[in-house]
Amino acid sequence: MTTTRILAAFFILVIPSIAQSETCDGTTHDTAVCLLGVFKKVDAELNVVYQRSLKVARDPYTPQDFQNLKDAERKWIAYRDAACKAERGLWGLGTGASAAHSICLIRITRERIAALKEAYLMEE
């Protein structure tokens, strides 16, 4: 097999499985469980980025800068939870409420990761 054919076979066989593993579909229950798993991964990433940001805020910045980040994170968590509760409420008692809540948590958490990286870790 030529290199081109090997690469083509790789993309045909591997890429769909990666995309499929990142796509939450199926029954409402399956989707909710999958989205919760995605959120847990994103939340774990946030925790890593936050801990790295705390280290940066601790040195060479002031103790107040360190405390400001801790305070901001606590307030951000309250904001995220309230915002996603509000979005979930748009679904009433509908079966999509759980998925809407998880999607909101994922979206806002990814935004926070990007913001921390930009402000404290100088990453895009």
pLDDT score recorded for residue 95? 86
Instruction: Supply angle C-alpha 75, 47, 113, rounded to 5.
Output: 70
Are 83 and 108 contacting, i.e. CB atoms less than 8 angstroms apart? yes
Please report, in tens digits, the pLDDT of each residue of the chain (124 residues total): 443 333 333 334 333 333 334 688 888 889 989 999 999 999 999 999 999 999 999 988 899 999 999 999 999 999 999 999 999 999 998 888 999 999 999 999 999 999 999 999 987 5
Helix axis angle, 97-120 to 28-58, nearest 10°:
20
Q: pTM of the full predicted structure? A: 0.78
pLDDT score recorded for residue 6? 34
Where do the H-state alpha helices sit in the chain?
A: 3-22, 28-58, 63-89, 97-120
Give me the residue spans of the domains in the chain: 27-120
CA distance 2 to 51: 46
In the block, which residue shows the tokens 């100088």? 122
CATH 3.30.70.20 fits 27-120, yes or no: no
